[in-house]
A = this chain, B = another copy of it.
Amino acid sequence: MPGKRAARDAGYKMVVVLRGELRLTAGKAAVQVAHAAVLLTLAGQSHRPEAVAAWLREGGKKIALVVPTLVDLEQLDRAARARGLPTVWVEDAGMTEVPAGTRTCLGIGPSAVAEVDAVTGALDLY
């Protein structure tokens, strides 16, 4: 129910969307989401410092979502970039669970809630 979720959101948020098909352990998934969050924060500091500062002041809201497959994630990346949203891919180093170079998740933002919800509002929570 994206409308309800959006209603209680702050002005900015970051989302990280995982590939359900990888069936990562909870710890592995957590680390992938953390990789995306750090990369987006650092990129944002360079390219959109005011958005990052506003997002951090609000508490740095983050949401973990899921899509079934890599194809879904690639479509999401194109949709996000078409709207001018910053995205980042995380590739796993591959020492455990998945082969090296496997794309594990896509991070988006931090950006205005309405902009992020326009491309991720219908996705399931991870």
Contacts and interface: CB of A to CB of B under 8 A. Distances in A.
Interface in A82-126: 93, 95, 125-126
Contacts of A59: 93
A113 to B, nearest CB: 14
Contacts of A34: 16, 30, 33-34, 36-38, 62, 64
- State which size class the interface on A falls in: 20 to 34
A29 interface: yes
Contact of A37 (B38, B56, B64, B93): B38
Given A37-B37, A38-B38, A31 B95 contact: no
A92 B57 CA distance: 15
A42 interface: yes
A56 to B, nearest CB: 8
Contacts of A66: 27
Given A30-B32, A37-B38, 9 more contacts: A8-B95, A26-B30, A27-B65, A27-B66, A30-B34, A34-B64, A39-B60, A41-B41, A59-B93
Interface of A: 8, 16, 18, 25-39, 41-42, 56, 59-60, 62-66, 93, 95, 125-126
